[in-house]
Amino acid sequence: MNYFSALRFKAFFIALIFSINGLIAQKSPIKFGDVPITDLETKVYSIDSSASAVILCDYATLTYVYYPSGLKTMFTHHRRVKILKKSGYDWATFETITRGGTQESILGVKGATYRLVGGKVQVDKLEKAAIFENKSDKNFTSHKFTLPNVQEGSVIEFTYQIQSNYDTEIPTWRFQHSIPTLWSEYWVNAPNFYVFRLHTQGYEPFAISKQEKSSLMLEGSSYESTEYHLAVKNAPAIKEEPYTTTIEDFTAKIQFEIAAYVPPNGISKNFSLTWENLDEALLGYDSFGKLAKPDGAVRDIVPYLKNTGSDTLAHLNKVLDYVQKTVLWNGDASMYGSNTRKKLLESKLGNSADLNLLLVAILKELKYEAQPLILSTRNHGMVNESQVLEKRFNYVVAGVLMPNQQWLLLDATEPMCKAGSVPFRCLNQQGRIVASGTGEWIEITPKEKYTFAQSVLVNIKANGDAEIKGDLLFQGYAAMSMRKVYQKEGDKALSEYLKKEYPNLQIKSFKVTGQSKYEEAFAISIDAEVSEAVNIVGERMYIKPSFGLIDTENPFHNKDRKFPVNFGYLQDDLSTIMINLPDGYVVEELPKSVKALTPDKMVNYTYQLFANGNQVAFMNKLFVKKNYFYAEEYHDLRQVFDFVEQRNLQQIVLKKK
């Protein structure tokens, strides 16, 4: 959709297409073909001595050009990269995508490789034949090229332009990549009849951050415009860390959001400026609002789902169960339905929005105060309340306003996910209830924890083998993941799970309870044997009291951390192991009972052992009482987990009477 074309400029002569460079007031810090010899000679960059490649300069401009058919954006990108190691060769291949068939086109691809041969600069140019275009499907075309004769120490550069009919969209610019970037700069010059809002993020300071009045020549006339100019210097490489949402949340970047279109003589158009506007817009979509409303099909379903008892929660779970069993989730996370209701119920297969909007519609028909709640999944990054941007969301669940005026969230994609719990992918800060005039923000705090509790009885035999009888209890998110394992292949899958988790156990039998009742814990009782469970030397017996039943590995291997730790949910991990000692032995030595805490006490570990006659009781408890830890808290967090690991090296010593 091209908004400018609606303007109908009176074009009496063929439009002049202005040179792009002439319109941009500023010059690029690099000139194509002009590579300083020092860039070729440098072997190590102080910013990161182990980098496989370094972006020396990443420079892009975006401006507008006039065509009789309407205004187009022209994005020009020039990148220069120093290749340091063979593992950096991938940076000599570049791919960009154009969208919408002929809506976008790529022009002016140029590239070259520079290397030193006997002290002289050898230049190898990118040939047209090495630029590959491939229509990935109807909507996207990939343009891929690779530069010739790349070697360690080479400098490569390339430039291209993308001309686009999507005149209200300005590409997002990332100042940071998986290799260091010495200089990254973005210039945007947009006529003032496009009103943009800017959103910047990241941990890197801006070397330049300016917004200035300017002008643009379009069809021979000058129009007021705004120039946005941003640059980041020496951005380090950005890398994934465990227990984060997505690296995109921490990457230095700028996004442009269209707010309004106010043409000189035409009709203005307001884009979602306020959250209320966005709510209304979504409610107007066939793929959103329409699907959230009850219709004939929903009215046909509802009689079977009427609340017969008085327990609201039980009833909500019944409705949820109905949707989960009626329509299968196809694995696509989406905020928009992919099908009409009729087709959905026929095919019984849909994306997350198909399922959850159906759920909203049914709940509404059942007279609940139900509304869709939009959110951004963990891998899609965070949403920002000050950024009214539809594309920041990618998911919708159902919200029901409970008598206590709290919203209860429901999601139908994961069977066994009960009312009040949403799948792990949804545990990302906050979401918005979409309702006409009454939309609101709510925190997505999981009602449930990840709880694992086991109580185990161990009988040690005189020969050192052991019999184990245990009850393993999974609740909340732990139950959800176990039910998922169990749901598909039943006992077979569970048997494999147990083999993998407890490799030293020979499991004789196991029994599952609570597999289909949401309100109960998922429980496995096991009956197993361990051969040579303890170590017998002479008159002594040495016992590791966890018997391989407790996972004590510290998940945090890195010494330092740059980004927060985001667990998503709170965690309880409790083990009680009662050990019956073999006849004829007494306890000679028992490990000391101890506790460990983070300074704010939000991580709490207890290790306890008691001996009582012929029995030793062992308790290992770990509570994580908050789900978000700042990078500054990382060392304390890691230390507690280290402590857990060390404690479980301790052994009980028995001696013959």
Partner 1 sequence: MMFTTRLLIALLWTCLVIPLSAQTVVWNVQGIPEKLKENAHAVIRTDENLLIVKNEGALTRKKHIVMTILDEDGLKYGHLYIDYNKLSKVTDLEGVLYDAAGNKLRKLKKEEINDIGNVTASNLFDDYRYKSVQFGYANFPFTVEFTYEVSDKKTAFYERWFPGEDAEDVSVQTSTLRIEMPANMPLRYKELNNVAPVEKSQNGTNTVYTWKVSDIPIKASEPYAPAWSQRGPGVWTAPATFEMDGYKGDFSTWQKVGEFDNLLNKGRETLPSNVISEIQTLVKSETSQEAKVKKVYEYLQQHTRYISIQLGIGGLQPFEAAVVADKGYGDCKALSFFTKALLKTVGIESHYASIKAGEATADILTDFPAQQFNHVILCVPMPKDTIWLECTSQTNPFGYLSNFTANRHTLLATPSGGVLVKTPALSAKDNQVSRKVKMELGADGSAKAKIDANFKGIFYDDVVGLIHENNQEKTTTSLLKSFYLGNAQLSKIALQENRDKIPSVQIAFDADLKKLTSPSGSRLFVTPSIFYKEDGVPSSGSEPRTMDVELFNNISYNDEIEIQLPTYQAVEALPTDVSFMSKFGTFQVKYQLQGTKLLLTRKFTRNNGKYKASDFQELIDFYKKISKADRAQMVLKL
Q: How far apart are CA 389 and CA 271, in angstroms?
A: 10
Establish if 612 lies at the interface with partner 1 (CB under 8 A). Answer: no
Establish if 645 lies at the interface with partner 1 (CB under 8 A). Answer: yes
Helix axes 477-489, 491-501, angle to 10 degrees: 130
Pick 524 or 534: Cβ nearer partner 1: 534
Establish if 149 lies at the interface with partner 1 (CB under 8 A). Answer: yes
Backbone φ and ψ of 5, nearest 5°: -65, -25
Q: Which two tokens stand for residue 446?
A: 């999981």
Which residues from 183-242 bind partner 1, rule CB under 8 A? none
Q: Which of 8, 85, 269, 511 binds partner 1 (CB under 8 A)?
A: 85
Mask of contacts with partner 1, 28-67, x by CB under 8 A? ---------------------xx-x---------------
The conformation of residue 640, written as its DSSP 8-state character, comes to H
Q: Which of 105, 151, 387, 525 binds partner 1 (CB under 8 A)?
A: 151
Helix, strand or coil, per DSSP, at residue 633: helix
Helix, strand or coil, per DSSP, at residue 597: strand
Backbone φ and ψ of 275, nearest 5°: -65, -35
Cβ of residue 460: shortest distance to partner 1, in angstroms?
A: 17
Q: How far apart are CA 164 and CA 105, in angstroms?
A: 7
Pick 134 or 614: Cβ nearer partner 1: 134
Helix, strand or coil, per DSSP, at residue 457: strand
Q: Which of 11, 132, 208, 224 binds partner 1 (CB under 8 A)?
A: 132
Cβ of residue 348: shortest distance to partner 1, in angstroms?
A: 4
Of 148-156, 289-297, 368-376, 405-413, the segment contacting partner 1 by CB under 8 A is 148-156
Q: How far apart are CA 17 and CA 451, in angstroms?
A: 65
Establish if 537 lies at the interface with partner 1 (CB under 8 A). Answer: yes
Cβ of residue 347: shortest distance to partner 1, in angstroms?
A: 5
Establish if 647 lies at the interface with partner 1 (CB under 8 A). Answer: yes
Cβ of residue 286: shortest distance to partner 1, in angstroms?
A: 17
Establish if 574 lies at the interface with partner 1 (CB under 8 A). Answer: no
CB neighbours of residue 222 within 10 Å: 9
Establish if 610 lies at the interface with partner 1 (CB under 8 A). Answer: no
Q: How far apart are CA 140 and CA 437, in angstroms?
A: 37
Q: Which of 41, 286, 385, 642 binds partner 1 (CB under 8 A)?
A: 642
Pick 499 or 517: Cβ nearer partner 1: 499
Of 54-62, 211-219, 340-348, 356-364, the segment contacting partner 1 by CB under 8 A is 340-348
Cβ of residue 583: shortest distance to partner 1, in angstroms?
A: 22
CB neighbours of residue 612 within 10 Å: 9
Q: Which of 178, 384, 554, 576 binds partner 1 (CB under 8 A)?
A: 554
**Total residues in contact with partner 1, by rule CB under 8 A:** 59
Nearest to 356 by CA among 376, 340, 336, 384: 336
6 Cβ neighbours under 8 A, 6+ residues apart: 70, 263, 266, 267
Which residues from 494-523 bind partner 1, rule CB under 8 A? 499, 503-504
Q: Which two tokens stand for residue 440?
A: 């609101």
CA 505 to chain centre: 36
Q: Which of 540, 562, 621, 625 binds partner 1 (CB under 8 A)?
A: 540
Of 1-9, 263-271, 325-333, 566-574, the segment contacting partner 1 by CB under 8 A is 325-333
Cβ of residue 411: shortest distance to partner 1, in angstroms?
A: 17
The β-bridge partners of 140 are 99
Helix, strand or coil, per DSSP, at residue 342: helix
Q: Which two tokens stand for residue 379?
A: 């891998």
Pick 133 or 600: Cβ nearer partner 1: 133
Cβ of residue 636: shortest distance to partner 1, in angstroms?
A: 15
Establish if 97 lies at the interface with partner 1 (CB under 8 A). Answer: no
Indicate the Cα dihedral angle 385, 389, 394, 395, nearest 10°. 50
Of 160-168, 218-226, 274-282, 555-563, the segment contacting partner 1 by CB under 8 A is 555-563
- The C-alpha angle with vertex 61 and arms to 57 and 65, in degrees rounded to 5, equals 155
Three-class secondary structure assignment of 132-194: EEEECCCCEEEEEEECCCCCCCCEEEEEEEEEECCCCCCCCEECCCCCCEEEEEEEEEEECCE
Cβ of residue 479: shortest distance to partner 1, in angstroms?
A: 20
Cβ of residue 48: shortest distance to partner 1, in angstroms?
A: 9
In the block, tokens 């814990």 appear at 521
Q: How far apart are CA 391 and CA 479, in angstroms?
A: 32
Pick 178 or 200: Cβ nearer partner 1: 178
Pick 70 or 236: Cβ nearer partner 1: 236
Of 217-225, 435-443, 529-537, 600-608, the segment contacting partner 1 by CB under 8 A is 529-537
Element (H, E) at 290: helix 289-292
Helix, strand or coil, per DSSP, at residue 408: strand
Cβ of residue 506: shortest distance to partner 1, in angstroms?
A: 10
Q: Which of 347, 387, 580, 608 binds partner 1 (CB under 8 A)?
A: 347
Establish if 325 lies at the interface with partner 1 (CB under 8 A). Answer: no
Q: How far apart are CA 262 and CA 657, in angstroms?
A: 93
C-beta separation of 74 from 62 below 8 A = yes
Residue 153: burial class (beta carbons within 10 Å; 0-12, 13-18, 19+): middle
Mask of contacts with partner 1, 372-411, x by CB under 8 A? ----------------------------------------
Q: Which residues of the chain form contacts with partner 1 (CB under 8 A)?
A: 49-50, 52, 85-87, 89, 93, 124, 127, 130, 132, 134-138, 142, 144, 146, 148-151, 327-328, 330, 339, 346-349, 488, 499, 503-504, 532, 535, 537-538, 540, 542, 554, 557-559, 589-592, 642, 645-647, 649-653
